[in-house]
Amino acid sequence: MSPSTIALVCFAAWQLLLTFALGFYRTGLVLGGRKAANAFRPDGSDTPGFGQRLTRARDNCFENLPMFTAFVVAATLMGRTAVTDPLAGWVVLARVGQSVTHVASTSVPAVQVRFAFYLAQIGVMAWWAIRLLGH
């Protein structure tokens, strides 16, 4: 299995972990009698603070997983994983960093750190697009 494929599985596993965390958080609210099971808003705005940050971190991950997947699959189908392999793991680490920062805080410094993690991911994927389309 190539480093790109391993990174893809790790990215999906991170998405799964965030989904489980959100599910456990919401289950706790329901079992604690603080929220009805059918009363959660999709954007997490009804669970301000940690719940909303966790929801957004999970959603941000979900929003970028298809793009990452497309590049890894394209590189694999083209027989060009040498383009994606060196940086695929770094993209996943930047994604985890973005998510953890998002869950931890929405202070201005945290938002700036989170954005830096996001730019790293987008920058790598832009580089991949150039390299994959340029040959």
* pLDDT 10s digits, 74-111: 999 999 999 999 999 999 999 999 999 999 999 999 99
> Between the CA of residue 107 and those of 24, 48, 97, 103, what are the distances in Å?
25, 15, 15, 11
In this predicted structure, the answer to whether residue 135 has a pLDDT above a threshold of 90 is: no
Domain total in the chain: 1
pLDDT digits (tens, 9 = 90+) for 12-29: 999 999 999 999 999 999
Q: pTM (2 decimals)?
A: 0.92
Nearest Cα to Cα of residue 25 among 46, 2, 3 = 46
What is the separation of C-alpha 78 from the centre of its chain, rounded to a whole number of angstroms?
25
What pLDDT, on a 0 to 100 scale, did the predictor assign at position 59?
95
Domain around 91: 3-133
Return the CATH number at 38: 1.20.120.550
Give per-residue pLDDT as tens, 33-70: 999 999 999 988 999 899 999 999 999 999 999 999 99
